[in-house]
Amino acid sequence: MKIRESGMPEQDMWETFFDPHAILVTLGMSSQTVDVAEFGCGYGTFTFPAAQIIKGTIFAIDIEPELISMVGDKARKQHLNNINPVLRDFMADGSGLPDESMDYVMLFNILHLDNPAVLLAEAWRILKKGGLAGIIHWNHDPSTPRGPSLAIRPKPEDCMRWAESAKFHNPSRYDLKPYHYGITFMK
Ligand SMILES: C[S@@+](CC[C@H](N)C(=O)[O-])C[C@H]1O[C@@H](n2cnc3c(N)ncnc32)[C@H](O)[C@@H]1O
């Protein structure tokens, strides 16, 4: 099932809210990163910059057929053969990726879902030991131009608690101005 309040404004507006390449580098993605799983790729805002940074494949998972076909079409046009768009409900069916197969898992603007423990457990399962989980989310601030309602919007402390309960360690926290925070954890 689609997670609550997971709609986005038009792509042009959505993409004014971030500097995706800078965010990915800040959150530890590099040319040494091999395979990546992205939970909820949306328009591919972070998928395309990630594909250009890493040396392996990015598995870009989303439940929306139009978004998956849009990301696939754009990847073909740009000859980015290392983007693998995956149409899948990751809450109902998991990622479908093997245990301990990924170097990095992206949880971007997604942890306002009902049951974050389920997604963090799946992220833990597919990450290699020493792999990174990167989280970004909207600041818990009513003046942000978008974002889920404050009642369900996670604070950095919530993400820290959930990730530590899922056995992640080594948290590092970042201020991703103007509207977001980021946290990385290690498996
Ligand atoms: C708020 S958007 C964030 C998109 C992207 N991570 C970004 O930050 O630009 C959330 C995305 O998650 C997808 N999504 C929601 N529930 C899902 C589910 N159960 N399985 C797979 N994708 C899901 C939505 O279709 C949407 O594209």
pLDDT at 6: 87
Characterize the bridge pairing of strands 102-108 and 83-87: unpaired
Residue 59's pLDDT is what? 98
Q: What residues line ligand 1, using a CB cutoff of 6 Å?
A: 1-3, 6, 8, 40-42, 45-46, 61-64, 67, 89-91, 108-110
Burial class (CB in 10 A: 0-12, 13-18, 19+), 19: middle
pLDDT in tens, the chain (187 residues): 998 898 898 999 999 999 999 999 999 999 999 999 999 999 999 999 999 999 999 999 999 999 999 999 999 999 999 999 999 999 999 999 999 999 999 999 999 999 999 999 999 999 999 999 999 999 999 999 999 999 999 999 999 999 999 999 999 999 999 999 999 999 9
Which residues lie closer than 8 Å to 79 by C-beta, 6 or more apart?
none
pLDDT of residue 4: 87
Ligand 1 atom with least separation from CA of 92: 19
Going through the chain in order, the beta strands assigned E by DSSP cover: 36-39, 58-62, 83-87, 102-108, 127-138, 169-176, 180-186
**What are the angstrom distances between the C-alpha of 12 and each of 3, 7, 118, 129, 140?**
22, 14, 31, 37, 23
CA 142–ligand 1 middle distance (angstroms): 22
Q: Return the SS3 of 106.
A: strand
> What letter represents residue 8's amino acid?
M
Main-chain dihedrals φ then ψ at residue 174, nearest 5 degrees: -135, 150
Domains and CATH numbers, the chain: 15-105+117-140 (3.40.50.150)
Give 137-143's long-range contacts (Cβ < 8 A, gap of 24+). 137/108, 137/109, 137/110, 137/111, 137/112, 137/180, 137/181, 138/109, 138/179, 138/180, 139/179, 139/180, 139/181, 141/179
Q: Which atom of ligand 1 is nearest to the CA of 64?
A: 25
Asked if 50 contacts 27 with a C-beta cutoff of 8 angstroms, the reply is no
Which residue's alpha carbon is at the smallest distance from atom 1 of ligand 1? 6
